[in-house]
């Protein structure tokens, strides 16, 4: 999986002359923001749905046993809830590096849960990237996640932390929660359960 999206993302200069830019997080960014930010606000974006369709061989899996992490799939009328971060444009160099295996920056409108909206950036991995795995049943996704572990830790930890973060936000996601339910049948549960 050698596609490296850093150079492509650095050509996306739409917000380079801004003092600050909104970044929409719908995956690990909801529960782990390992970068400085000015402000964060629960938000959603329209026309997309969260899916465990992107392969991970560098964070939550390996080349031989890739894990699965989230990307966004187009869904007319759909809505994806997450967390928006106001950051300085320099933070995107760090994010481009962290998400270099297939994620591309896309300009999007985001709507804050407490009102108002702003244009900003979201990272999306489409079917055109080499690490893309695509649709599978929630049962099969859970089985793959149960067996994957990478340098960032077990793939199941990522799923469970995301499910907890969405519960804490009050934004249930049927796809994520169904995978969580199947993981429990494999004996993998939230730590406090
Ligand atoms: C996130 O929202 O957590 C995220 C997902 C994919 C790439 C970068 C960030």
Q: Is residue 29 in some structural domain?
A: yes
* Neighbour-count burial for 74-100, b at 16+ CB within 10 Å, e otherwise: eeeeeebbbbbbbbebebbeebbebbb
109 included as an active-site residue: no
> Mean pLDDT score of the chain, rounded to an integer?
93
Q: Is residue 191 in some structural domain?
A: no
Pocket test for ligand 1, best of 99, 102, 120 (most atoms within 8 A of CB): 99
Q: Is residue 193 in some structural domain?
A: no
Cα of 169 from ligand 1 centre, angstroms: 17
Q: What is the mean pLDDT of residues 143-167?
A: 98
The predicted pLDDT at position 100 comes to: 72
User: In 3D, which of 48, 47, 66, 64 has the Cα closest to residue 56?
Assistant: 66
**69 φ, ψ (degrees, to nearest 5):** -130, 175
Q: What is the mean pLDDT of residues 131-156?
A: 98
Domain coverage including residue 147: 6-184
Which residue's CA is the closest to the ligand 1 atom numbered 8?
A: 123
pLDDT at 159 over 50: yes
Domain count, the chain: 1
Which residue's CA is the closest to the ligand 1 atom numbered 2?
A: 25
Q: Is residue 43 in some structural domain?
A: yes
pLDDT at 95 over 50: yes
Supply the CATH number for residue 142's domain: 3.10.490.10
pLDDT digits (tens, 9 = 90+) for 36-70: 999 999 999 999 999 999 999 999 999 999 999 99
Q: Is residue 192 in some structural domain?
A: no
pLDDT at 2 over 50: no
């Amino acid at each position: 999986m050698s596609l490296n999206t850093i150079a492509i993302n650095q050509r996306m200069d739409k917000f380079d002359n801004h003092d600050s830019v909104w970044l929409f997080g719908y995956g690990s960014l909801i529960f782990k923001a390992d970068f400085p930010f000015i402000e964060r606000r629960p938000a959603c974006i329209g026309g997309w749905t969260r899916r465990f369709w992107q392969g991970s061989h560098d964070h939550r899996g390996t080349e031989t046993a890739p894990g699965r992490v989230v990307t966004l799939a187009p869904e007319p009328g759909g809505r994806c809830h997450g967390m928006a971060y106001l950051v300085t444009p320099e933070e995107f160099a760090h994010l481009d590096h962290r998400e270099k295996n297939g994620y591309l920056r896309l300009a999007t409108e985001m709507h804050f849960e407490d009102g108002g909206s702003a244009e900003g950036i979201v990272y999306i991995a489409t079917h055109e990237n080499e690490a893309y795995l695509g649709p599978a049943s929630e049962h099969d996704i859970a089985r793959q996640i149960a067996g994957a572990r990478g340098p960032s830790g077990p793939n199941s930890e990522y799923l469970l932390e995301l499910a907890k973060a969405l519960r804490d936000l009050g934004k249930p996601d049927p796809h994520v929660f169904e995978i969580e339910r199947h993981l429990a049948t494999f004996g993998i549960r939230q730590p406090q359960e």
